[in-house]
Structure 1
Amino acid sequence: MDPVSSLPSRSSARQGGAGKKGHSTAARKPSKKRKRKKRGFFHTVGRMLMVLILLVAIGEVWLYLTPSGNKMLYLMADTLITTQHRHWAKYLIGQAELDRRVAAYQRQFDEMGEEKDTHTIKPQPGAAEAGDKEAEKPKPLIEIEEVSGTGYRGYVVTVNDPTKIRLGVPAKRGKGEKVSSMVERTGAIAGINGGGFADPNWKGNGFKPIGVVISQGKLYYNGLDSKKSSTQIVGIDKQGKMVAGKYSLDELKDMGIQEAVTFQPRIIVNGKGQIKSQKEGWGIAPRTAMGQREDGAILFVVIDGRQPGYSIGASLYDVQQIMLDHGAVIAANLDGGSSTVLVTKGGEIANKPSSEYGERYLPTAFLVFEHPEQVDIPNIWEGLRPQDIDPGKK
């Protein structure tokens, strides 16, 4: 190829240059638009952040510097105290206040267990005596009623014959059992979670109860330090009378306790509510409680929680008021939170347990039977010492 002919002419060179210049100009126009869009985006984000910071600041001022905000602050803290994440409450009220509040509640619960219970069971007069033919119809053994209030939904279970209740325990050593499994396995017509248990890192196996477990009049488990130690129990004696409060093992034996677990606090004693207001209600959470009417019927209150849009939960004050509204003359708190569960015949779960892992494995449950005398509930803790049980082993 001729080296001269291979060079572009001056006119073609100018055209090429003009073409490049035109191309460059066209390319810069969308670049300016993109810059404007970016500036607009960051400007919007910046304004949103400023609004968010302002709202947070206003919220903190309200929470910490106003009476209504302070009330909400401590309600939030108390709610956290009842969950698996108690330590989070320190970010709201500080570690010192958290420790003080937990200690104060414990003292209050102990005091609520000291008043002597004097209630007696007074069966209602027979229908024939009253002349009420409608009342001649026998009551069903259990009745289940839905209840609801501000922020909560749940159930009240009425067991019209308290002597039909037995305390169920797991079938095998080394691990708790789901209440639905207990009900299905034993043929019970209903089951409600019972006492608490050692729960390290909230991943416990449900096999190591707290305090004592009494089933069919026998001491199945004793986690107390000594024979003279007292514990807050919730249970029933041989006559079907509910017993709740602080007692020693000797006292429980003398009282003829038939079924019992350790838990607290009592919330109704001698027909009087022990919690004076929502402020003392120990936060909002799923709840389980047991009570008794003057006619002997046992009441179980089961409240769902930690499920926005369905049920956030209830305070102990809420549960107390539900019990009073249903005629309870004595009532006490049972294990709640993610343990709260109500099971009906065949192992059907009636409520909505809050645990993200589903129904929990538990050491005890109050079970209702048509014929409790036919039920065999072996003591799976026989021969085991509490110190030999690993509550975290799966």
Structure 2
Amino acid sequence: MKNLLKKVSRIVSSKRNKLVKPVIIIILAAVAVSFIIFYAGHFLFEKVPEKQPDTVPPATTHEGKPEMKPLPLKYTHNTEYINGYKQQVHVLEVGLSDPRIEVKPILSFDKVFGFEKLSEMVKRSGAYAAINSGFYHKYGQPSGMVVIDGKMFSNSTGKYPVFVIKDGKAGLHEIQTKLWINFPGGKFRVDNINAEGKKGEVVVFTPEYGSSNKVVSENTTVVVRNGLAEQIVKAKGETGIPKDGMLITFFSPVKGDIPFKTGDALEFEFEPYMDNNSQAYECGSWIVKDGEIVIGEWDEWVGVLTNRDPRTAIGLKDDGTVVLLVVDGRQPEFSAGLKGYELGELLLKYGVKNAAMLDGGASTEMIIDGRIVNKPSFKGEERPLAGGIIVKVNK
């Protein structure tokens, strides 16, 4: 019986093996086919990366045009504690190596007289950024030299540093200008431009001064239109300024003979020479000069500098970067303001080698991309100003 069972077991086992082997073979074949199909699809449909070029092409905008390199403009707002006082510091650094960047003065309504909010000047000029400018007389006349795009609006005093941009580079220099009229007989020196004249002086008046020379004393005035002397008038008061010319006013008593005659070609010029891309703006006192703090405790325009007040300054780094700096003040819980010497220390901290004072107090203001970024000290509101320093970004 046992032998019979063993024989039956061997027969069953043999038949089972014959059944299992084909099943295993079928399974293995199916797996192999699956792998073949998978990898074939992978190579057929996967996008093969292209070889990258040795040099990276310039980035492109959504319009497919090359993207311009970043502008050399850096704005920072920092809360600092200086000698135990909280300060809000706004700094705009501007590189002039990029031809798209333009820094220049601006006057209210583009005239010698008057006041205008900085935000309105920014809107009118299309500027990207701006700060308030320097000091001015009672009716908004600049306190010193102003040249915009090579055109002189007012003369230098020779007493304060002038912020100059010429040949694509910025500087702070003390400048004593020379003014004259070119005429067929040579050069004739004049004393001033767009300013109230004194006895015996010769002053040039341009349309930016207003509709007339505003003279109230005896004078002899040469009316120049389209570069030619149109008439010479003796007057006891004002003379209208032609929109396409200028006046040359000799205040009585006139020294010597007037060298011009009607029909003469007359042209105003000044030194130092500045072309149409040159700018100049006379600031207040030096704050930092050649890396040293030189500001004193009193200034002719500011007065006492030992008080903590809102401050505006313009400066230059060693590499020529223009630094526009504003510090809020007269707001103890927000920003106390700085003394003159503290302002010098702060400028050195930001890497400024040369810097000069601009107007401060309630005039202190900075605008970036259409927004007033600081908090003016008078109720947080803008004060109408005689002018500003603007930063334009040209396409």
Which residue of structure 1 aligns with residue 167 of structure 2?
Answer: 239
Question: Does the CA contact (< 8 Å) of 1:238 and 1:256 recur in 2?
Answer: yes
Q: Deviations over 1:56-85 (max 9, x none)?
A: xxxxxxxxxxxxxxxxxxxxxxxxxxxxxx
Aligned mates of 1:324, 1:249 — CA distance in 2: 30
After superposition, residues 165-244 of structure 1 pair within 5 angstroms as: 165-171=103-109, 175-199=114-138, 207-222=140-155, 230-244=158-172
Instruction: Give percent identity, aligned residues only.
Output: 29
Aligned mates of 1:243, 1:316 — CA distance in 2: 21
Aligned mates of 1:166, 1:329 — CA distance in 2: 20
Which residue of structure 2 aligns with residue 141 of structure 1?
Answer: 72
What letter matches 1:360 in structure 2?
R
| 1:231 counterpart SS class | coil
Aligned mates of 1:333, 1:363 — CA distance in 2: 16
Which residue of structure 2 aligns with residue 292 of structure 1?
Answer: 316
Q: 1:159 to 1:249 in 2, by over 3 A?
A: same
Which residue of structure 2 aligns with residue 51 of structure 1?
Answer: none
Which residue of structure 1 aligns with residue 327 of structure 2?
Answer: 303
Query: 265, 281, 285: which one pairs with 1:265?
Result: 285
1:338 to 2:276 alignment: no
Which residue of structure 2 aligns with residue 33 of structure 1?
Answer: none
What letter matches 2:369 in structure 1?
K
What letter matches 1:215 in structure 2?
I
Q: 1:288 to 1:255 in 2, by over 3 A?
A: farther
Q: Deviations over 1:109-146 (max 9, x none)?
A: xxxxxxxxxxxxxxxxxxxxxxxxxxxx9453321112
| 1:330 counterpart SS class | strand
What letter matches 2:283 in structure 1?
F
Question: Does the CA contact (< 8 Å) of 2:145 and 2:162 recur in 1?
Answer: no
| 2:109 counterpart SS class | coil
Q: 1:238 to 1:352 in 2, by over 3 A?
A: same
| 2:153 counterpart SS class | strand
Which residue of structure 2 aligns with residue 254 of structure 1?
Answer: 272
Q: 1:281 to 1:250 in 2, by over 3 A?
A: same
1:153 to 2:88 alignment: yes
Aligned mates of 2:340, 2:169 — CA distance in 1: 23
Q: Deviations over 1:243-286 (max 9, x none)?
A: 335321139832649323333211222222224899x9532110
Q: Unaligned regions of 5+ residues in structure 1, if any?
A: 1-136, 200-204, 375-394
Question: Does the CA contact (< 8 Å) of 2:285 and 2:295 recur in 1?
Answer: no
Question: Does the CA contact (< 8 Å) of 1:194 and 1:334 recur in 2?
Answer: yes
Question: Does the CA contact (< 8 Å) of 1:217 and 1:259 recur in 2?
Answer: yes
Q: Deviations over 1:333-364 (max 9, x none)?
A: 11111110001123x11100112482111122
Aligned-residue offset at 1:198: 2.1
Q: 1:230 to 1:186 in 2, by over 3 A?
A: same
Aligned mates of 1:370, 1:208 — CA distance in 2: 27
Aligned mates of 1:260, 1:233 — CA distance in 2: 10
| 1:285 counterpart SS class | coil
Question: Does the CA contact (< 8 Å) of 1:154 and 1:304 recur in 2?
Answer: yes
Structure showing greater Rg: 2
Q: Unaligned regions of 5+ residues in structure 2, if any?
A: 1-67, 180-269, 299-303
Question: Does the CA contact (< 8 Å) of 2:171 and 2:316 recur in 1?
Answer: no
Larger helix share, 1 or 2:
1
Aligned mates of 1:217, 1:269 — CA distance in 2: 26
| 1:171 counterpart SS class | helix
After superposition, residues 311-326 of structure 1 pair within 5 angstroms as: 311-326=335-350
Aligned mates of 2:143, 2:297 — CA distance in 1: 28
Larger strand share, 1 or 2:
2
Aligned mates of 1:294, 1:210 — CA distance in 2: 28
What TM-score results when the alignment is normalised by the length of structure 2? 0.51
Moved more, 289-298 or 349-358: 349-358
Aligned mates of 2:174, 2:320 — CA distance in 1: 21
Query: 372, 378, 389: which one pairs with 1:349?
Result: 372
Q: 1:172 to 1:266 in 2, by over 3 A?
A: closer
| 1:184 counterpart SS class | helix
Aligned-residue offset at 1:240: 4.0
| 1:317 counterpart SS class | helix
Q: 1:295 to 1:245 in 2, by over 3 A?
A: closer
Question: Does the CA contact (< 8 Å) of 2:134 and 2:284 recur in 1?
Answer: no
Question: Does the CA contact (< 8 Å) of 2:312 and 2:358 recur in 1?
Answer: yes
Aligned mates of 1:142, 1:367 — CA distance in 2: 13
